[in-house]
A and B are shown apart, each in its own frame.
Chain A
Amino acid sequence: MTGRTWLRHLAFLLPAAVAVLALTYLLPPFRTYQLATVGAYLCVTAGLTVLTGLNGQLSLGHGALMATGAYTLALTQNALAGRGQWTLLVSTAAAVVVTTAVGAVIGCAAARLRGPYLAGLTLAVAVVVPSVTSTFESVFNSDQGLSVALDPPPLALGATFPYERWQAWLSWAGALLTLFLLANLVRGRFGRNLRAVRDDEAAARLAGISVARTQVSAFVVSAACAGLGGALFAVLAQSVSPGAFPLTLSLFLLMAVVIGGLGSLTGAVCGAVLLVALPAATHSLTDAVHVSPAVAQRLEGNLPLAVFGVVLIVVMLALPGGLASLGRTLRRERPDP
């Protein structure tokens, strides 16, 4: 990795940061909040793109990893509550560290599994982990979950500084940092190893790449991203509960990276936007058509699922070669320097 790559990525980063900053002043509070949510999702989809797109490992457990991050943040933050703005940094770091550790454990198992076995194991993680909150009720408070004690925005920003804008800043700081680090990572030797292992394990092994270590590292990196995303989620919602991390969330994340375009960080951005925009769109749709509130509620909750599912199936069937060809197409279009 050369210094020039860093600089080039920085050159992308700064305008993006400025654009987000501008948006937080232009958008109404609700939209700003949605923007913040996109940022939180982006951390996760970017990490998942590295794992599934570049390394070929399917994970259905990223919702559970997000939950790990979110609960860690909540517990740490509540323990440190009221000591100042810096505590958020500490608890976010704690969230990333704990999730990374959990990811390393899953990753070690994952590195020995392939295809449906890996999918099954991570699915089990996604289904089982929320039930941990009931097992250790005294810590996690079961289905009710925990509220997160957060400080107001720093006084230096002014007394009337909107909270959503502060949230968007926090979440995009995390998202852009994640993108920057990942972009540099995948352009370097690590990225080449990831792709080599995905394309042909035997060949990668012959080339002296440690397949297992590469796969575990990919899982660790993407778990760290999911931990950060989960922590940001907790900050945005100001609470955590197992209901916020159902299996569907894990599936949504996977769908987002597949539909967004597997294997590129741009695709991860599209996926994150989709994750927020699609439910919002169905919301406006159900608002527009006049149906009873009960029906509207059912539609609102389920229409995005249906759309995601259908789009996913169509994408997979329409592409000869499936996931792999999606990765290849993208690689052809964006050759490595």
Chain B
Amino acid sequence: MERFLFLTFDGLSRGAVYAAFALALVLIWRAARIVNFAQGAMAVATAYAGYSVASATGSYWLGFAVAIVAGLLLGAAVERVVMRFVDHSSPLNGVVVALGLVLVIQAVLGMLYGNEYRPAAAPFSRSAFQVGGVALLSRFDLFVFAAVSAVVGLLGLLFTRTAVGLRMRAAAFAPDVSRLLGVPVAGMLTLGWALAAAVGSLAGLLVLPTELGLHPNAMDLVFVSSFTAAVVGGLDSAVGAVVGGLVVGLLLSFVSGYLGATVAPMAVLALLLVVLLGRPGGLFTRGRARAA
């Protein structure tokens, strides 16, 4: 029972990170109908930037801030310089270009920092403290929950309560009509990419300390897990992405805890397969063909 509780909390903490990362994927999907396969690599790149600043200044939080800002800038740059010029007649084009970005980003990181793991610092202790004699959560886990809840809440407010959010949604759903109403559609798209990449960066900063550390490929598996989370949620739904993230986090935690850590990736693959084949449209949206 204790183990079950521990694994549940551990799973929710992991799941929160996947939720944030999946949310970033959903943001771009909704804005541009592109699954940003480069998001993992982009997040690692900004984490490296934060790492450099943190080790130069000795301040974790300065590095943290730099990583988030770098995410905003990188996201905007990727949209302005590359993605804007992709031909969208076939969804494959965006995918292939994003994969090209993955190669470029990972290569540049490898050249700058080398292809070995570097420790990723956590701002709070990762050892779980006892609640009623049971080790459940660490301070870092609490930080993860707080950060992800804040991001989800702020994004929710942004999209439902602000003029910019309304513009962004309108621009995504009906670009031509929005332009006729004075919405700078291209700018909204750039903003969407910037926000998504920053959320991705945050997710990276939250997940890297719990994995092997910084490495150009460090987010590959996280990307797969989060993509699965987004697909579980239906790829179009922000709420779905959050729930999907928690589902994937719990699954990973239980499988690692009861069957062994090496089985976990296969469990994710199995879940992805089952959802893609069994519930076209995800668990939270009305059924629709996976034609995209």
Contacts and interface: CB of A to CB of B under 8 A. Distances in A.
Contacts of A312: 96-97, 99-100, 103
Interface in B276-292: 276-277, 280, 289-292
Interface string B206-228: 00000000000100110110011
A258 B97 CA distance: 11
A14 B64 CA distance: 62
A58 B273 contact: no
B92 A58 contact: yes
Contact of A316 (B89, B93, B227, B292): B93
B292 A117 contact: yes
A58 B107 contact: no
B107 A127 contact: no
Given A121-B272, A247-B220, A313-B104, A302 B111 contact: yes
Contact of B224 (A114, A127, A320): A127
A128 B266 contact: yes
Q: DSSP majority for the A interface?
A: helix
Interface in A304-318: 304-306, 308-310, 312-313, 316-317
Interface string A107-151: 001001111110111011101100110110100000000000000
A128 B268 CA distance: 9
A176 interface: no
B114 interface: yes
Interface string A279-313: 00000000000000010001101111110111011
B82 interface: yes
B231 interface: yes
A251 B102 contact: yes
A325 B90 CA distance: 10
A247 B221 CA distance: 10
Interface string B144-165: 0000000000000000000000
Nearest to A119: B95
A317 B99 contact: no
A322 B97 CA distance: 10
Q: DSSP majority for the B interface?
A: helix
B243 to A, nearest CB: 18
A93 interface: no
B115 A323 contact: no
A248 B100 contact: no
A54 interface: no
A120 B227 contact: yes
Nearest to A310: B104
A124 B100 contact: no
A298 B276 contact: no
B224 A113 contact: no
Interface in B74-126: 82, 85-87, 89-97, 99-108, 110-111, 114-115
Interface in B248-269: 260, 262-263, 265-266, 268-269
B92 A309 contact: no
A323 B94 CA distance: 10
A335 to B, nearest CB: 23
A131 B106 CA distance: 20
Nearest to A304: B107
A237 B10 CA distance: 41
B16 to A, nearest CB: 21
A254 interface: yes
Contacts of A324: 89-90
A255 interface: yes
Nearest to B85: A317
B97 A124 contact: no
Contact of B272 (A120, A247, A325): A120
Contacts of A313: 82, 97, 100-101, 104
A232 interface: no
Given A128-B269, A247-B217, A322-B86, A298 B115 contact: yes
A120 B93 CA distance: 14
Kindly name the residue among B82, B276, B277, B291 whose own CB sees the greatest number of chain A CB atoms within 10 A.
Answer: B276
A153 interface: no
Given A131-B265, A298-B110, A124 B103 contact: no
A70 interface: no
Contacts of B221: 127-128
B35 interface: yes
Kindly name the residue among B95, B99, B268 whose own CB sees the greatest number of chain A CB atoms within 10 A.
Answer: B99
A120 B103 contact: no
A116 B220 CA distance: 16
A138 to B, nearest CB: 12
A112 B276 CA distance: 9
Given A115-B95, A322-B86, A322-B92, A124 B111 contact: no
B100 A316 contact: yes
Given A298-B111, A309-B100, A323-B90, 4 more contacts: A115-B291, A120-B224, A251-B99, A302-B107
Q: Which 10 A-B pairs rank lowest in CB-CB distance, beginning with the nearest?
A: A309-B103, A115-B91, A322-B93, A309-B104, A305-B107, A306-B107, A312-B100, A302-B110, A116-B35, A313-B100
27 contacts: A109-B273, A112-B280, A115-B95, A121-B276, A124-B224, A127-B223, A127-B265, A128-B266, A128-B268, A247-B217, A248-B103, A255-B99, A255-B100, A255-B103, A299-B111, A301-B115, A305-B106, A305-B110, A309-B100, A309-B102, A312-B100, A317-B82, A320-B87, A321-B87, A322-B87, A322-B92, A323-B90
Interface of B: 34-35, 37, 82, 85-87, 89-97, 99-108, 110-111, 114-115, 217, 220-221, 223-224, 227-228, 231, 260, 262-263, 265-266, 268-269, 272-273, 276-277, 280, 289-292
